[in-house]
Structure 1
Amino acid sequence: MIVCSLCGGTDVKCAAVVDPNTKEFIEFGYEAFLDGECSQCGNVTLTDPNEIKSDIDKRWTEYTARNGSRPNFALCRIVRTDNYDGYGQARIRIGGPSKAVEKCNTVAACRDLDELKTLTDPDPERGFTLVECQAFEFRPVMENRIYLIEIDGESIPVTTEEVLKLYPEQHNLTQDDIERYAATYTAQIKSYRGCERCLDAVLVRRLLDEERLMKPGESDSFKLQQRFQWFVRIRKEREKPYAPFRYTVEAFCLDNIQTFTRRYVKLEEALLHCLNGFNENASIPDRYRSMDEYLTKNQKQ
């Protein structure tokens, strides 16, 4: 039975081909059962839940026969019932441990195939209706573990989910990758987010005024707001190994895994480069041409 994909009502109409002279019905229009008008919801996507359930069973049987195993994701077309805007594509998780986390975004998780098929029946409270199962697939899923990483003497808890959120999907992290380096780096970034000091005119003046007091090996840290937020550490180097460079900037993006490192002869150069967003593109003019210009424009701070 053809129903409205939003409310599930049967009072719907769709396009048909009719002889304009005899008013004789000839056939239904192209994909007439996919779009129509609901007396309650207006112009909407139409759906046939029973037909979609049969197609799901067919695709499931074909997948398991071809691969000798069960899939754990269904690639589907859905209709949002809470904010209708036509079709949308989404993945739906099938089975697996309750404390698992996947690398791809999903719109829902089902215990099994039977529960997946119930999503074809419109339910306004659910938020979406499954209107087509395009394919089944298997994607790596890991257990959502908690790692305790020591950073600067503090034990930082990090979950698998937090690691996968920080690292782009194309990195294809494995459990071994997370244990070897990704959890540690995520804990490091999580720790840096706790820094409360931001680079402003007050801090710039203090750092420049107290530069003579800074000893080799010492550092100062602060947050820097650009397109993303960064944690920046400026360290005074021991002169011989890095001469003529005396300062090193290490910057870590707090929203992704970007990093930036560079050495400078003067502290003022390092701070100005930070204030200009690490700009190294000669075709893009710097926001501030000098430290005096920055301090003049921000003298009220």
Structure 2
Amino acid sequence: MGVTLRWLALLAFSLLFVYPFLWLVSASFKPRSEVFDNRLIPRTFTFDNYLQVWREAPLGVWMLNTVIVTVLAALTVTISSAMVAWGFAYFQFRGRKALFGLVVATMMLPGAVTLIPTFLIWKSLGMVGTLTPLWAGNLFGSAFYIFLLRQFFLGLPRELFEAAKIDGANNWTIFVRLALPLCKPAIILTLLFEFQAAWTDLMRALVYLRDSSDFTVPRGLKALLDRYGFGGEWHWEIVVTASVITTVPMIVLFFLGQRHFVGGIAGTGTKG
């Protein structure tokens, strides 16, 4: 009886969390007059919204821009953060813990604090209005990912690296050939986290992008909301349909990488 109740409770909470997306998908197949009727099964089923949204907005261009930004952002932050994390985990030097604590402390700094100085830097470089500011900052790593990857590196047997060094392997070879493959779950977890973060990043897109041909998906959805949503033409069927189209890639990515979420998070140790 207890097991049945637990399963029913899990099912109820699952439906509670899934319902908003089910409503969104259902609304995307409804005509304008029925979008907010709260029916999960549309009374009038239509595919016209999906045809209209491609005519009204350059979704293909926006998604291509977003793919470029997310791939570059995920790759650069994973590589740079892994290198810094490996340095903190493997090399012994004076002040290592204090320096690592300083890096972690930067996570307490709100993004709004550095928004204006960062904007001025990119403006002086002539990059405002381009996609570069949306991903190039990741070349310098991320405190959260450095912490995450360092914990994985600390969990690896140091004797393995010392044996490789005796066999003639240099530090770079040890990092690339041994450390990274052994930390594959953490590397994939970092890639997935940053891919999701970059795909949904609206703030930097609002600050740096000017031309609609350079918009990413979040910035494009904001433009559609302004035009067809509140204060616009009230064509909510276009807004919800565009939201469904741009959300699907993230759902597919989650299902492809869900086992790495569990394995990656479970493998994060507490070593100092």
Q: Same fold (TM over 0.5)?
A: no
Q: Specify the TM-score bucket, using the shorter chain as the normaliser.
A: under 0.3
Structure holding more strand per residue? 1
Larger Rg: 1
TM-score after normalising by structure 2: 0.21
Higher share in helix: 2
Which is bigger in relative contact order (C-alpha 8 A, separation at least 6)?
Answer: 2
TM (norm. structure 1) is 0.19
